[in-house]
Amino acid sequence: MLFCRVNNSNASGDNSKRGFIVYKGSSISDHTTKSFNLNSYYKLRNELIENGIIVGRVFVHDYIFSSSSAAACVISGRMISGLVAWREIIS
């Protein structure tokens, strides 16, 4: 399992055969950057909110993204590489 804790977000997810899955209960950032607002991921983030996948900043269902970078951008509200954003936490 991987974790994304960028820009006040707290999400968990993992690679799957169909894409990158973000797990139910993951939270998104409470704000977005100006450059993000001009990107297609901004539109996707808003669609997920409008369609009830994200409610009150929290994923209420698992959701499969096309890539870890797409997931990281939507979650963090900024442009970021999935390789940078998603990390294993070793206890």
- Report whether pLDDT(77) > 70: yes
Confidence of residue 91 (pLDDT cuts 50, 70, 90): low
3-state secondary structure of 15: strand
Domain hosting 10: range is 2-87
Interval 24-48: pLDDT, tens: 999 999 999 998 988 899 999 999 9
Question: What pLDDT was estimated at residue 52?
Answer: 98
Q: What residues have CB less than 8 Å from 66, skipping those under 6 apart?
A: 19, 20
As a whole-number percent, the residues of the chain with pLDDT over 90 amount to 89
DSSP-assigned beta bridge partners for residue 4 = 11, 86
Mean pLDDT value across residues 4-27: 96
> What interhelical angle do 68-76 and 40-50 show, nearest 10?
70
In angstroms, the CA 74 to CA 91 distance is 27
Query: Which amino acid is it at 49?
Result: I
Q: What domain count does the chain have? A: 1
